[in-house]
């Protein structure tokens, strides 16, 4: 019996993350293999991956070059510390990543996840101001409906009540901008909505309340993914940038979802032409193969630490920062992006994707459709008194029908591998249309 392909004897011991454990264990969904844009489940059914795993497999599953690179590295260097020593792949990757940003960033700090990248960026922001003699800058500003992972920093700046409420007082000194979701004004917009740029001015109000000299950083997702694909109104991010610059506040874009091609550009900051001072990334960085996150910093952020007296510049890091397997996976991922022209392919699919999304307009329960890059949000009317139940029903039906979708509340979020073909889009939306028609 192969433990990785056969049904487990018991499901009891694994406390599953972000899962309704009791419901799942009554009717489990078990994936045993993946290739290209498909998963296979334990019963041998093929499942079309409409979500690139958890937004993290841009180049498709079991990409041969990436698999080979990880295999080779595990036999060569299974682990190496990066405290006071290093290994060549970690440095080679850092250089490649800087080139991937067109050298708009000067340095990269490795983590093992998006959550760790967020907490790292927040710590860098605090230490940066302190290193420059502005230790009073300790406050952070996040946004309602923002998701920044599950570390204490991330849930503090994040704006999802369910992720915050069970955990007490969290980080002090955090304010939240209002979210920009507005169904009355912006429903069924293709791309960036027209209404809402003025909401960035709330930042001025918060700055006036506390004084700029107390604020370290603002963190936002350029497109909020986990709370249902909330696309920034036209001009909103530029306005945030202007206000941060004016007040010496660092701007952090959390690009864990939007980085590495999801927007059909390398990063969302390229798409929107707005440059933050730091970017947090993960997911597509290794094509999901090996856990890894990374914080990209502008040179001026890094250099502030190099002016400090001799010694360790930043007291921060993880045992697995720059793990050799993660570096090998990421180097191979970047090569695949280049050789397979993944971004060109994604750009070529864009129009077809948007039309497919909007083919759902008018179907039962659909109260909004949103899309940008190769992302889509399909908002359904909630069943009164049962928020989230309708979309969860759609998710279960879709899995049974052989397509993987993701739901958050009553919103279906789609983010296929960037190597999808038009026929996959047809299959995904064909099945979704049928499910929506049959849904309670």
Kindly list the residues in this chain that would bind ligand PMP in the complex (CB under 6 A): 113-115, 118, 147-149, 221, 225-226, 254, 256-257, 282
CB of 397 to ligand PMP, least distance (A): 24
Residue number with CB closer to ligand PMP (36 or 158): 158
Q: Are strands 46-49 and 403-404 parallel, antiparallel or unpaired?
A: parallel
CB of 427 to ligand PMP, least distance (A): 25
Q: What is the DSSP letter of 182?
A: -
CB of 284 to ligand PMP, least distance (A): 11
Residue number with CB closer to ligand PMP (148 or 424): 148
Closest residue by Cα to residue 115 from 157, 145, 81, 59: 157
CB of 289 to ligand PMP, least distance (A): 13
Query: Helix, strand or coil for residue 62?
Result: coil
Side-chain-side CA neighbours of residue 102 (13 Å): 6
d(CA 153, CA 117): 10
Residue number with CB closer to ligand PMP (268 or 419): 268
Residue number with CB closer to ligand PMP (55 or 128): 55
Query: Helix, strand or coil for residue 49?
Result: strand
Q: Nearest residue by C-beta to ligand PMP?
A: 114
402 burial (CB, 10 Å; 0-12 / 13-18 / 19+) is middle
CB of 399 to ligand PMP, least distance (A): 20
**Beta sheet of 406-408, edge-to-edge order:** 366-372, 375-380, 411-414, 406-408
Tokens of 245: 């610059």
Handedness of CA 280, 176, 386, 432 (dihedral sign): negative
CB of 285 to ligand PMP, least distance (A): 10
CB of 226 to ligand PMP, least distance (A): 5
Q: How far apart are the first and last CA of the chain?
A: 40
Per the DSSP assignment, residues forming a β-bridge with 294 are 110, 281
CB of 368 to ligand PMP, least distance (A): 20
CB of 121 to ligand PMP, least distance (A): 10
Residue number with CB closer to ligand PMP (230 or 436): 230
Residue number with CB closer to ligand PMP (59 or 219): 219
Residue number with CB closer to ligand PMP (147 or 420): 147
Tokens of 253: 């874009």
Tokens of 191: 């791309």
Residue number with CB closer to ligand PMP (60 or 114): 114
Residue number with CB closer to ligand PMP (52 or 126): 52
Q: Tell me how crowded residue 84 is: count the other CB atoms within 10 A of its CB.
A: 6
d(CA 232, CA 137): 27
Residue carrying the six token digits 């993701």: 406
List the alpha helices (DSSP H) in 259-411. Answer: 268-272, 299-306, 324-339, 342-358, 389-400
Q: Tell me how crowded residue 386 is: count the other CB atoms within 10 A of its CB.
A: 11
């Amino acid at each position: 019996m192969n433990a990785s392909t056969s049904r487990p004897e018991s499901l009891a011991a694994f406390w599953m993350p972000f899962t309704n454990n009791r419901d799942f264990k009554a009717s489990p969904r078990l994936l045993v293999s993946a290739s290209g844009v498909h998963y296979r489940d334990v019963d041998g059914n093929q499942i079309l991956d409409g979500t690139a795993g958890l937004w993290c497999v841009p180049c498709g599953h079991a990409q041969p070059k990436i698999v080979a690179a990880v295999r080779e590295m595990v036999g060569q260097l299974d682990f190496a510390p990066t405290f006071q020593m290093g290994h060549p792949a970690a440095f080679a990757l850092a250089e490649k990543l800087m080139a991937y940003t067109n050298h708009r960033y000067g340095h990269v700090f490795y983590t093992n996840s998006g959550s760790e990248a967020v907490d790292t960026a927040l710590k860098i922001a605090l230490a940066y101001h302190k290193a420059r003699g502005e230790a009073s800058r300790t406050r952070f500003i996040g946004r309602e409906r923002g998701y920044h992972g599950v570390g204490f920093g991330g849930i503090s700046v994040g704006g999802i009540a369910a992720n915050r409420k069970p955990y007490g007082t969290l980080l002090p000194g955090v304010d939240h901008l209002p979210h920009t979701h507005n169904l009355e004004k912006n429903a069924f917009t293709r791309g960036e909505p027209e209404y809402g740029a003025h909401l960035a001015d709330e930042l001025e109000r918060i700055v006036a309340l506390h004084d700029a000299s107390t604020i370290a950083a603002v963190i936002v997702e350029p497109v909020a993914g986990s709370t249902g694909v909330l696309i920034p109104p036209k001009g909103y991010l530029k306005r945030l940038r202007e206000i941060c610059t004016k007040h010496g506040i660092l701007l952090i874009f959390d690009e864990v979802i939007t980085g590495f091609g999801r927007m059909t550009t390398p990063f969302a900051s390229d798409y929107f032409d707005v440059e933050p001072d730091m970017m947090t990334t993960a997911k597509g960085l290794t094509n999901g193969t090996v856990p890894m996150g990374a914080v990209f910093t502008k040179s001026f952020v890094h250099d502030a630490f190099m002016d400090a007296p001799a010694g360790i510049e930043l007291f921060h890091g993880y045992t697995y920062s720059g793990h050799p397997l993660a570096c090998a996976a990421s180097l191979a991922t970047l090569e695949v992006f280049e050789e397979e022209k993944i971004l060109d392919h994604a750009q070529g699919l864009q129009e077809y994707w948007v039309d497919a999304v909007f083919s759902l307009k008018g179907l039962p329960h659909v109260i909004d459709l949103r899309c940008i890059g190769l992302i889509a949000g399909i908002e359904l009317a909630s069943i009164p008194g049962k928020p989230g139940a309708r979309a969860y029903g759609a998710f279960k039906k879709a899995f049974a029908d052989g397509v993987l979708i993701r739901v958050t509340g009553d919103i279906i979020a789609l983010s296929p591998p960037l190597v999808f073909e038009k026929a996959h889009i047809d299959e995904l939306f064909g099945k979704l249309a049928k499910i929506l028609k049959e849904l309670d």
